[in-house]
Amino acid sequence: MFDDVDLLVCGAGPVGCTVAERAAHVLGWNVLVVERRAHLAGNCFDSMHPSGIRIHNYGPHYFRTNDEKLLRYLSRFTDWIPGNYIVKSSVGGRLYPFPINLTTLEQFFGKKLDSAAAERLLHEKQVPVAVPRNSEEFVLSKVGRELYESFYLNYTLKQWGRHPRELAPSVCGRVPVRLSRDERYVDHRFQVMPKDGFTALFTRMLRHRKIRVLLDADFSELGRLVRPRQATVYTGPIDAYFDYSFGPLPYRSLQFDFVAKPVEFAQPCVQINYPNEHAWTRSVEFKHVTRQRHPHTVVCHETPQATGEPYYPVPAPAHQQLYERYRERAAEATNEEQVYFCGRLAQYRYFNTDEAILEALQCFERIRRDCAAPRRQSASSRRLVPA
């Protein structure tokens, strides 16, 4: 039934959809995409809540990129609406612009500032650290202790279940600090949302006569039965692929609680962070970014947890070392069996959606190159089918 598969793809998230689309469209390969869940689009999946409001089922995805070429590629599958990514942080019962900007500093320190005065103020507050080794040192060196303790410390403890001292500088380093009044959450050149949602975008990507998709399907079962003629792309957790042979890698999970409210808007912007109150880290009102018009609204509270679906790899040195051991095994699997590992879970990296898609495009180019090289036996002649 599956003897004509050229490329087997495990996972129908942004990475799986991108590699599948490229292989079918550019190379004319027969592609089989195997997805464990009952839907496409991975964690970008969005759908209609029973109230009729579009939600992002696995937390908000604020698409942004600096890469115009990538945007052009994705524009084949979607129109866009402007991103409206505004976040505030609730500290001491007051809402502050977040990331920290000039207005945040004025409100927090109770004085009028211009950029030069704000820079001087931050300079006084900063804890000198030559090269920050972790997220605590990073934030202290940027904004000093008071802002760190008010905006970052408890949020990070809740989000990761770990002290910022245990996390790589890049974790809190994702959030800029600004001396301007720019209130956008991120700095990227293009900040846009797919007009009909992410699910529609990824569904269109896979709408190709050479692509077959199996939902609710177990890769560990199917991967044994299907022998692709060219390659396999695996986008699931790398430790699971190797049966946790070096021990499990830690992931952070989330619980999403969707609350329908009989008001047009329940909060002033898409996201409010609660570093110091509640068990949840943030409340998200999607209508601000989907721009849906509806008399009612839905807000989602996100509560981090240690167990459950793996959403975030945890960027810390010990986990990186463990990942490196799996990565070596993965490199062997690529060379010997043409299995390619790509994406947040397979590369154990904290990618944004645009970064994950760029990785997928690179992965595709690599497969294409490898398959064009004369050295290879076909993948199917090497792979073993266990009894």
Among the listed ranges 115-123, 172-180, 239-247, 319-327, the one in contact with ligand UDP (CB under 6 A) is: 172-180
85 or 323, CB closer to ligand UDP?
85
Residues 67-106 that bind ligand UDP (CB under 6 A): 89, 98
Is-contact 210 229, C-beta < 8 A? Answer: no
Q: Considering the rule CB under 6 A, would residue 156 count as an interface residue with ligand UDP?
A: yes
54 or 158, CB closer to ligand UDP?
158
Residue type for 348, please?
Answer: Y
Report the C-alpha gap between 181 and 89 in whole angstroms. 15
CA 104 to chain CA centroid, Å, is 27
- Which residue from 58, 151, 219, 280 is in contact with ligand UDP, where contact means CB under 6 A? 151
- Which residue from 17, 41, 171, 300 is in contact with ligand UDP, where contact means CB under 6 A? 171
Q: What is the DSSP letter of 150?
A: I
Report the C-alpha gap between 32 and 73 in whole angstroms. 22
Both tokens of residue 189?
């050149």
Q: Considering the rule CB under 6 A, would residue 155 count as an interface residue with ligand UDP?
A: yes
171 or 339, CB closer to ligand UDP?
171
Among the listed ranges 7-15, 167-175, 223-231, 240-248, the one in contact with ligand UDP (CB under 6 A) is: 167-175
150 or 297, CB closer to ligand UDP?
150
Residue 93's φ and ψ, nearest 5 degrees, are 80, 5
Residue 375 CB partners (closer than 8 Å, separation 6+): none
- Which residue from 11, 223, 236, 275 is in contact with ligand UDP, where contact means CB under 6 A? 275
31 or 105, CB closer to ligand UDP?
105
CB of 214 to ligand UDP, least distance (A): 30
CB of 37 to ligand UDP, least distance (A): 20
CB of 332 to ligand UDP, least distance (A): 31
Residue 132, preceding peptide bond in cis (omega within 30° of 0) = no
CB of 197 to ligand UDP, least distance (A): 18
Q: Considering the rule CB under 6 A, would residue 24 count as an interface residue with ligand UDP?
A: no
Q: Which residue reads 């004509």 in tokens? A: 4
Q: Considering the rule CB under 6 A, would residue 159 count as an interface residue with ligand UDP?
A: yes
Report the C-alpha gap between 36 and 43 in whole angstroms. 12
With CB under 6 A as the rule, give the number of residues binding ligand UDP. 13
Is-contact 310 348, C-beta < 8 A? Answer: no
Helix, strand, or coil (residue 74): helix
Give percent helix, percent strand, percent coil of the chain, each to the nearest 5. Answer: 35, 20, 45
Is-contact 82 191, C-beta < 8 A? Answer: yes
Q: Considering the rule CB under 6 A, would residue 174 count as an interface residue with ligand UDP?
A: yes
Which positions lie near ligand UDP, rule CB under 6 A? 89, 98, 151-152, 155-156, 159, 171-172, 174-175, 273, 275
